[in-house]
């Protein structure tokens, strides 16, 4: 799953362009630091004044995500055949460094994994590698200054783990749950936004649903607990400010971003402390032409 910056109003797309884009974030609850970077070639599909066909394109690029605990590298493609529908898909080779408690793995999905427990078992973290495939369809609509978008992430993970064989799991700080070592995760971000020039204000509802290939009835819950699903839901505000919305230049649309989310459902985090994310993004036009 990627953290999307709420977009300011876009000028008409050029016929073709090559650009670099970066989003750098710091997170709290859970703690994280990550730089998400893409180098993209984009081709406009239709030259039409119609709002339905105006901002349509196909693109292909390379993606690099880097943190003190891992890097993820791979190709990504994107298609927007009409303004209301976007589809992104890609593959990432993932390398975990064995630093900052990552990764820690478990024999199955029924293990406690809260922050305090993982801190106590930091020495058990180890480096490993794996593969991450994802498809992300998104629906979006805009009426005057109000925009609504919802993105579903369909992810498949295949990571080499020391624990659990086919039932093994590992903690991923971005998804903030136990991810199957070989299996699927679904996630959704739904944003309701008000676009006011350089400001974007709104609310985000986020949810994550790991899918485990195991029989829950075969595992006894811990005393006083029910078997966890490791799903979570949070909701909260988005605020973004773009310092300059003019296209072109070395640093196009530099934007600061703040997201807060209170957990409505979580195995470990349903309390007063929200999820917090601060970020800074910009893009650089490397080649553009009609």
Structural domain of residue 224, as residue ranges? Answer: 16-289
Does a structural domain hold residue 58? yes
pLDDT for residue 2 = 56
Does a structural domain hold residue 145? yes
Report the run of H or E that residue 248 belongs to, with start and end: none
Rounded distance, CA 140 to CA 127, Å? 39
Spans of the chain below 50 pLDDT: 8-9
Helices and strands, counts by H and E, the chain:
1, 15
Return all residues near 225 (Cβ < 8 A) that are at least 6 apart.
none
Q: Indicate which CATH number applies to the domain containing 102.
A: 2.40.160.40
pLDDT for residue 51 = 81
pLDDT for residue 226 = 67
Q: What distance separates the 2 farthest-apart alpha carbons in the chain? A: 66
Does a structural domain hold residue 61? yes
Nearest to 275 by CA among 105, 9, 25: 25
Rounded distance, CA 72 to CA 99, Å? 15
Does a structural domain hold residue 11? no
Return all residues near 240 (Cβ < 8 A) that are at least 6 apart.
5, 6, 199, 200, 201, 255, 256, 257, 258
Nearest to 44 by CA among 85, 7, 81: 81
Question: Number of folded domains in the chain?
Answer: 1
Does a structural domain hold residue 64? yes
pLDDT for residue 272 = 78
Does a structural domain hold residue 8? no
Does a structural domain hold residue 68? yes
Characterize 101-136 residue by residue with b for buried, 16 or more Cβ atoms within 10 angstroms of its Cβ, and e for exposed: bbbbbbebbbbebeeeebeeeeeebeebebebebeb
Rounded distance, CA 273 to CA 275, Å? 7
9 close to 246: Cβ distance less than 8 angstroms: no
Q: What φ, ψ does residue 112 adopt, rounded to 5°?
A: -70, 140
Rounded distance, CA 192 to CA 132, Å? 29
Does a structural domain hold residue 129? yes
pLDDT for residue 246 = 75
Nearest to 92 by CA among 140, 138, 29, 136: 136
- What is the radius of gyration, based on Cα positions, of the chain? 20
For CA atoms 157, 160, 166, 168, the dihedral sign is: negative
Give 172-216 pLDDT, tens digit per residue: 999 999 999 999 999 999 999 999 999 999 999 999 999 998 665
285 close to 9: Cβ distance less than 8 angstroms: no
Instruction: Give the global pTM.
Output: 0.90
168 close to 160: Cβ distance less than 8 angstroms: no
């Amino acid at each position: 799953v990627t953290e999307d910056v709420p977009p300011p109003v876009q000028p008409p797309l050029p016929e073709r362009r090559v650009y670099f884009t970066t989003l750098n974030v710091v997170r709290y609850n859970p703690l994280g630091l990550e730089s998400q970077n893409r180098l993209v070639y984009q081709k406009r599909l239709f030259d039409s004044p119609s709002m339905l066909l105006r901002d349509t394109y196909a693109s292909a690029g390379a993606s690099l995500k880097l943190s003190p605990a891992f890097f993820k590298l791979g190709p990504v493609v994107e298609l927007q055949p009409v303004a209301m529908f976007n589809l992104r898909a890609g593959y990432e080779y993932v390398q975990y460094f064995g630093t900052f408690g990552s990764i820690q793995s478990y024999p199955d999905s029924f293990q406690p994994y809260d922050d305090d427990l993982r801190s106590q078992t930091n020495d058990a973290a180890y480096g490993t590698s794996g593969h991450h495939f994802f498809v992300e369809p998104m629906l979006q609509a805009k009426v005057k200054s109000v925009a609504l978008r919802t993105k579903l992430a369909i992810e498949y993970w295949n990571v080499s783990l020391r624990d659990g064989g086919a039932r093994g799991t590992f903690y991923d700080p971005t998804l903030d749950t136990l991810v199957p070592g070989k299996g699927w995760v679904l996630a959704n971000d739904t944003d309701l936004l008000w676009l006011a020039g350089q400001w974007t204000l709104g609310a985000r509802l986020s949810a994550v649903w790991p899918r485990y290939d195991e029989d829950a009835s075969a595992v006894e819950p811990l005393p006083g607990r029910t078997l966890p699903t490791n799903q979570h839901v949070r909701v909260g505000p988005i605020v973004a400010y773009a310092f300059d919305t003019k296209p072109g230049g070395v640093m196009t649309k530099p934007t600061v971003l703040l997201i807060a989310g209170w957990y409505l459902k979580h195995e470990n985090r349903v309390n007063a402390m929200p999820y917090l994310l601060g970020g800074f993004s910009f893009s650089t036009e490397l080649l553009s032409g009609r």
